[in-house]
Amino acid sequence: MKPAAPGRALLCALGLALWLGCARGLQRSSGSHDWKKLIMVHHWPATVCKSTEHGCREPPDYWTIHGLWADKADMCNRSWPFKLDEIKDLMPDMKMYWPDLLHPSPNSSFLWKHEWEKHGTCVAQLEALGSERKYFGKALDLYRALALNSMLQKLGVVPSGGNYYQVSDIKDALSSLYGVPPKIQCLPPEQGEEVQLLGQIELCFTKDLQLRGCAEPGRPGAPAGGAGGAGLAQDLQVCKDGPVLYPPPP
């Protein structure tokens, strides 16, 4: 049998490569990287620090950013590394509003690296979030626009060591302000404690950055909207109906 002509062999190899590329593309688009909503995740430092074995040093007395996540995807592009230099101009706001509560360091880069590699590389398919600088910058913009700290104060929901709130009251009040229901997560009571602790509040967006309800279909059965990242608040769960304590900073 005559060997295949070089040109024909090349075409066959090219065809096979294209077919494999298309197959991989289909797998990516229909697999774990296919997401439908963005989740802006705020957490309450006093509760996050209580949920860890070693606590935190001087946690902020205001809600801070945990992350900006896609509802399904994570670790979408392992070849897109985090580079601290790309967000140098954001550093003052990052340190204030997006601190690493559990891994203190001069630049808090442990948490930011984790959030970019796990979540940022997925939502970067959107033009508005299409680079590391855009991702962190837009997350800060959304945090400021939502102004959760001010909204809770406006509602009279403030940290207290003795007064309990009803989870449904907080959820209904925030829904009335934002026009969409949030997802509220708590740290369940430990042995000897009577009530759950307010820990995390998620507000969700469409891909064109319009607010939408967090309870609308996303990932069935996902615990607490994917709560837990870089060791943060791994034990948080969707709050049970009933009383909740909003703990003051230590």
Annotated catalytic residues are 66, 115, 119
Which 3 state secondary structure label does DSSP give 42? strand
Q: Is the dihedral of CA 128, 181, 65, 36 positive or negative?
A: negative
DSSP 164-232: EEEHHHHHHHHHHHHSS--EEEEEPPPTT--SEEEEEEEEEE-TTS-EE-TTSSSSTT-GGGT--BTTB
What is the 8-class DSSP label of residue 125? T
Residue 145: Cβ within 10 Å count:
10
| Buried b / exposed e along 192-218 (16+ C-beta atoms within 10 A) | eeeebbbbbbbbbbebeeebbbbeeeb
Task: Judge contact between 42 and 64, C-beta under 8 A.
Answer: yes
Task: Judge contact between 108 and 82, C-beta under 8 A.
Answer: no
